[in-house]
Structure 1
Amino acid sequence: MRTVRVGAVGFVVVALIGVACAQDKKPAVITITVPERGYKETVVKVDGDEVIGTGATRTFTTPALEAGKEYTFKIEALIEPNNYTKITRPREIKVKAGDAAKIDLTTEDKKLDKIVVRWVPTPVDIVDEMAKLAKIGKDDVIFDPGCGDAVMLIRPVKELGAKKGIGIDIDPKMVAEAKTKAKAEGVADKVVITEGDILNEKDMAGAAEATVVLVYIGDDLGARMSPVLQKLLKPGARVVSHRFKLGDWKPDRTVTVKGADGDDYVLHLWTVKEKEKK
């Protein structure tokens, strides 16, 4: 009987220890602030799993965490401010058992955020209006970051006799399509198109050769690209953007033109100034 009693007591002790350990483990609660709804509701994921909810604040409760240890959770927001822009915003947060933590995903981080813009073609007649605003001539080299099917390169080279067209696009399928189109239009020898990222300064090297930049890209990417353009472009270079501005770089002129489809199109013009001597 004594042996039985000792075994029973041991079992109870082990059980109590197990309960105590379980009680030591507590979840952490993470409050995540995201941009207000844009074109679509922002999607939030923690360690790859979607956090159910809507609006500017989401709450994630972690699994039970062991006391005294620090845990890292990867948080990602997919933000769609409009129907052509997707922003992926990854962050990390460290928490301990019982923490009530907060993280703000409303602020941009140029090093971490990834921006993808869906390609939308600019009508040919509006491309011609952009070329007219830039006063493109035979000595000009045209650069189009995010060139899509390269219409902004092909038209000035073919119709206005521009010296050269340089384009980059992040989508290899669009690069292939643009090269095919340039060949079909008989300007493949004067239009150079490569795969590249407009947020990578090395890929934007063509801007240093350009005298004219024609661009149709979203406000978010335009703002990120603007400092690179201003750094690489030579004084006298002209930039014309269809619809979108380039961050806080104020255009020298903004015009509205009537398209063949009857719609109004806004175009912005910048002329690169001489850099101030320090």
Structure 2
Amino acid sequence: DQDYGDNWIGRQGVRLIQNAPNNKPWFLVVNFNGPHSPMDVTKSMRERWRDVISFPMPVDSDIFTEEENIGIRQNYSAMVENIDSWIAKFKQEIERRGESNNTIIVYASDHGEMLGDHNRKNKCVPWQGAVNVPLVIAGPNIENQEEIKHPVSLIDLYATFLDIAGVQIPKGVDSVSLKPVLERKKKVSERFVRSGLWNFRVVIRDKYKLVVGYRPTKTWKNEVKIFLKGLIRGQHHKKVRENKPIMLFDLANDPDELNNIAEDNPEIVMELKKNLLSPHLKDQ
């Protein structure tokens, strides 16, 4: 366990908190590797999940056997649990320093994990398993155990941190401060939240999600080939501009993204298409 990657990272995080200055503000980012393929865990981590076998099978998928699915999700759960234990250690160290009343803790991820859904592993796809990530924020003046279901973006952390620190947010940035929402001074306003990678772009507003430029294939290798081919020819940006192909999902009624309703909802598609790109990119 001592040499396991995330445990080494966790120890460095604790050390940095212990050595943080006492007489001025400090900011720390700890980047854990997990949970991530190849889903390697230690013997003790695996042992705690050995008897847990009740996991859902992947959605719209035949990529794993039931036994393979259980093993992968056991390891994935063990990795998440291990990181949670380190977050607890960070919190304990902050309390020991007497700084709980002026420290904000943020738990987030740069991407999700498909775990076999839609016949995909890992990331790099527009499905919710990959683009929908956790965002947990705790600290003074933040409502306890409040769940916000409206979509926000990771880039909002930029404006949020500046706002909390009392620093003016630069004009013209896409980042929106969540500080008033965390303090329950206002609700999350309906807005367009964007994502994208390679040849696809995503825009979400309320319950509707538009995906442009992504053509599902039977295997991950095929999608990599399509990406590399498009990269060489410079076609990715063109595909987004041409709005081909298009998928629209109602995440409230179809969270597994099984039914493309774009053809039946041209008005919604049109509204979302207008906001597919950030205002800074529309003229590029």
Q: What TM-score range do you get, normalising by the shorter chain?
A: under 0.3
**Higher strand fraction (1 or 2):** 1
Q: Which has the larger radius of gyration?
A: 1
**Higher helix fraction (1 or 2):** 2
